A = this chain, B = another copy of it.
């Protein structure tokens, strides 16, 4: 069902020097499927992350934040699917720590040098024994297999690579992501891991990941539900020979950031394309706002409206629903008589009502496409924002009514 999303073949996914991938089968939810991923890192790396803002943030999120906060050198990330270890209280934090400890013993490092991640059902105890038992049996894997090992309701593994040259020195970036439901920014039920061999200082990396997240993983919504487990991690092995990028003024910062953002957006959009039950990929652009925040508010009001999303599913140009969503987005002094609404190139509404030249056949033509851009021009400032979302189908209900069975 994923919208224009193909599995990347392993040839197109580039290894990153200093980053070793391992997978294992722990039988957490189903037997004989890859459900544990270990990302082992050589020394000399820098790692930064951004995490869910859900107050019920999962135990592994709490532990990863604490471990990153110690400032120690990270040696491994361990990810399980099939159980989120969220809504599990003190016991959940102990379980996450036990996983770190077991892996640290194998790798001869400290537990604080391991970052844990989990995704799956909430409110059920983590089967920590199964995970610990499976760790010694882990085997080396490709990025494609790593992407498979973190899937939940995803139908397509999500991975992509980029290369760039910094003053003639080649740099590689490869990332994977998972997520298909409980997707709303700050952040989505989503795990994203991007690794690069570029050398960047940690303070700069921490600033960079926030900026990149805000323009990629924090711009998507499938169902408006912000998850307990969202994490996006940026790993720099530093094994490329590029000159250390240590400030935003470094000549390599801007080109590196551009490629990184492009990759992060591809992965974020892949999550939407594989949104539960999705049949259409919708880009919502809001322009001419007074602030990015108000543009995002309007973008998300459209992106999370069940009425808008079911109209897209039905290919029905019932576009008054878009106006209603714009109207309730919470922009208190919005002058609706000034804004314009476009569906791709079709001007649908202006001056508070339907544009005189608009014909339903034009709206119908665009609604039948699998990729649609909604553009709202507010004419009250120069800020803009883009949000990506998908439609809402019978299959969304089927998938989420059946998820645990």
Q: How far is the CB of A193 from chain B (nearest CB, A)?
A: 22
A86-B323, A89-B352, A353-B92 as given contacts; A397 in contact with B403, CB under 8 Å = no
Interface flags for A350-366 (1: CB within 8 Å of B; 0: not) read 01111000000000000
This chain: copies in complex: 2
Q: Are B403 and A327 in contact (CB under 8 A)?
A: no
Number of contacting residues on A, CB 8 A?
A: 71
Whether A336 is near chain B, meaning CB under 8 Å from some CB there, is: yes
A121-B318, A349-B123 as given contacts; A305 in contact with B225, CB under 8 Å = yes
Q: Which residues of B contact A336 (CB under 8 A)?
A: 55-56
Q: Are A324 and B227 in contact (CB under 8 A)?
A: yes
Q: Are B181 and A307 in contact (CB under 8 A)?
A: yes
Interface flags for A328-360 (1: CB within 8 Å of B; 0: not) read 110110101100000000001101111000000
Q: Are A306 and B55 in contact (CB under 8 A)?
A: no
Q: Are B328 and A89 in contact (CB under 8 A)?
A: no
In the bound assembly, the distance between CA atoms of A91 and B349 in angstroms comes to: 13
Whether A165 is near chain B, meaning CB under 8 Å from some CB there, is: no
Partner of A320, one of B87, B313, B393, B397: B87
Whether A304 is near chain B, meaning CB under 8 Å from some CB there, is: yes
Whether A182 is near chain B, meaning CB under 8 Å from some CB there, is: yes
Q: Are B398 and A324 in contact (CB under 8 A)?
A: no
Q: Is the interface of A mostly helix, strand, loop or mixed?
A: loop
Whether A383 is near chain B, meaning CB under 8 Å from some CB there, is: no
Q: Are B306 and A123 in contact (CB under 8 A)?
A: no
Q: Are B56 and A313 in contact (CB under 8 A)?
A: no
Partner of A226, one of B184, B318, B328, B403: B328
Whether A96 is near chain B, meaning CB under 8 Å from some CB there, is: no
Q: Are A87 and B55 in contact (CB under 8 A)?
A: no
In the bound assembly, the distance between CA atoms of A54 and B53 in angstroms comes to: 28
Q: How far is the CB of A367 from chain B (nearest CB, A)?
A: 12
Whether A84 is near chain B, meaning CB under 8 Å from some CB there, is: yes
Q: Are B89 and A122 in contact (CB under 8 A)?
A: no
Interface residues of A in 67-92 (CB under 8 A from B): 84, 86-92
Whether A97 is near chain B, meaning CB under 8 Å from some CB there, is: no
Q: How far is the CB of A62 from chain B (nearest CB, A)?
A: 10
Q: Which residues of B contact A313 (CB under 8 A)?
A: 397, 401
A226-B324, A306-B225 as given contacts; A352 in contact with B90, CB under 8 Å = yes
In the bound assembly, the distance between CA atoms of A349 and B91 in angstroms comes to: 13
Q: Which residues of B contact A128 (CB under 8 A)?
A: none
Whether A12 is near chain B, meaning CB under 8 Å from some CB there, is: no
Q: How far is the CB of A246 from chain B (nearest CB, A)?
A: 34
Show 23 A/B contacts (Cβ-Cβ < 8 Å), sorted by A.
A53-B328, A54-B328, A56-B326, A56-B327, A56-B352, A86-B324, A89-B337, A89-B352, A90-B353, A91-B353, A121-B320, A123-B319, A224-B304, A225-B321, A226-B324, A228-B327, A306-B400, A310-B397, A310-B400, A314-B402, A394-B394, A394-B398, A397-B397
Given A87-B352, A227-B324, 19 other A-B residues pairs in contact with their CB atoms under 8 A = A54-B324, A55-B329, A55-B336, A86-B324, A87-B324, A87-B354, A89-B352, A90-B352, A92-B353, A122-B318, A122-B323, A182-B321, A225-B321, A228-B320, A306-B392, A306-B400, A310-B396, A314-B402, A316-B405
